[in-house]
Amino acid sequence: MALTLDLITPESHDQVRPQAAAEKKSLIGLSRDEMAEALVGLGVPERQARMRVRQLWHWLYVRGVSDFSQMFNISKDLRATLDAHCTIARPEIVEEQISQDGTRKWLMRFPPRGAGRPVDVETVYIPEEGRGTLCISSQVGCTLTCTFCHTGTQKLVRNLTPGEILEQLLVARDRLGDFPDADTPDGAIVPAEGRKITNIVMMGMGEPLYNFENVKQALLIASDGEGLSLSKRRITLSTSGVVPEIYRTGEEIGVMLAISLHAVRDELRDVLVPINRKYPLKELLDACRAYPGLSNARRITFEYVMLKGVNDSLDDARALVRLLRGIPAKINLIPFNPWPGSDYECSDWEQIEEFADLVNKAGYASPIRTPRGRDILAACGQLKSASERMKKTDRLRLEAMMISGHGE
């Protein structure tokens, strides 16, 4: 049975960013130049600023500290100045849910910006044999209204900053004991060796390429060899098809690309993924063929949710093969994950297997994605934050249905 932890306690409030700290400048997510500029603004001599940036970078992204008092090779006076004007505290963790399959979902609350309100974001950790994948959000809500996606039913509230994107990774590494000298929680399902978080995917709430600059800065910091040091080949950015930014993603960020495809005909994709009306399939596939670094070693992943009687016929599978001809690709087949109010059903398992067999025989790897975290609404397409939450009774009813095995 899934486990839900309510982490709003008097003790936890002492460990997260207080409301007043929202006025402080967060150092998390700043580039080295921006961090140096911030330090000079606090009175650090320019000739010392670069050295101080190296120290801060190490403490933030290698050691994972969240309190200036833990930065022992920085003078007390500078630590006091930083504490008075800046913050490196984590967002508030409102809730942590742990699925029976080991998947974890965190509901994080970020403080208000300007005259805005606090916002909630969901982040999911998926443990697998030999790897652990963190699914990160880029926006609060989404503008795309894909009809099969629960996140798409939540209106866009705002973009996340580079710091807020990175803080999801830092919180997850905290909670999993993935920083040096940190302990992994008892009973946690994590890789047996090495890092607990080996891969990150920009597949959470929002469309990453509608928040391009902030996502770019966050991912460049995540892949920085002197900090979090994740390989760009272990970072995947998923887009529904924002064609003008696809080439820039490869050229300026250099991470792996995933496309939320889900249909092989424009008239159907217009319904399932409405951005297709602006950037139809031909434009999208042309952009994929031109993706920098594309090769058999750096394939594009095409995500295809299996919807019963909608897009799962063998004719659809043949059309998919024709559509992707000439593109080094892998096709992830995703059993539809139900949510309250959805109009779709998951394809029958036998149909999914026949679809996969046809695509495989055509020379494309087409793994069927194992549904993970369905009992805590953490599966693909189910994320929707408490900024606009479903009724508790609806959520409990759905969780009970998933636990009892329906929808599998």
Q: Active-site residues: which are they?
A: 122, 380
Q: Is 96 marked within a binding site?
A: no
For 229, residues 6+ apart whose C-beta sits below 8 A from its C-beta are 223
Q: Is 99 marked within a binding site?
A: no
Find out whether 191 and 130 touch, Cβ atoms under 8 Å.
Answer: yes
156 — alpha (psi -120 to 50), left (phi > 0) or beta? beta
Q: Is 207 marked within a binding site?
A: yes
Q: Is 241 marked within a binding site?
A: no
Q: Token pair of 80, please? A: 């006091």
For 276, residues 6+ apart whose C-beta sits below 8 A from its C-beta are 241, 263, 266, 269, 270, 284
Q: Is 146 marked within a binding site?
A: yes
Q: Is 238 marked within a binding site?
A: yes
Helix (H) or strand (E) holding 35: helix 32-41
Q: Is 227 marked within a binding site?
A: no
Main-chain dihedrals φ then ψ at residue 187, nearest 5 degrees? 80, 0
Q: Is 142 marked within a binding site?
A: yes
**Rounded CA gap, 373 and 263, in Å?**
25
- Residue 33 CB-density burial (10 A; 0-12 exposed, 13-18 middle, 19+ buried): exposed
Which of the 8 DSSP states describes residue 396? Answer: H
Q: What residues are paired with 238 via a beta bridge?
A: 258
**Rounded CA gap, 50 and 40, in Å?**
10
For 406, residues 6+ apart whose C-beta sits below 8 A from its C-beta are none
Instruction: Name the nearest CA neighbour of 163 among 95, 195, 211.
Output: 211
| Known binding positions | 142, 146, 149, 206-207, 238, 260-262, 337
| Known binding positions for S-adenosyl-L-methionine | 206-207, 238, 260-262, 337
| Known binding positions for [4Fe-4S] cluster | 142, 146, 149
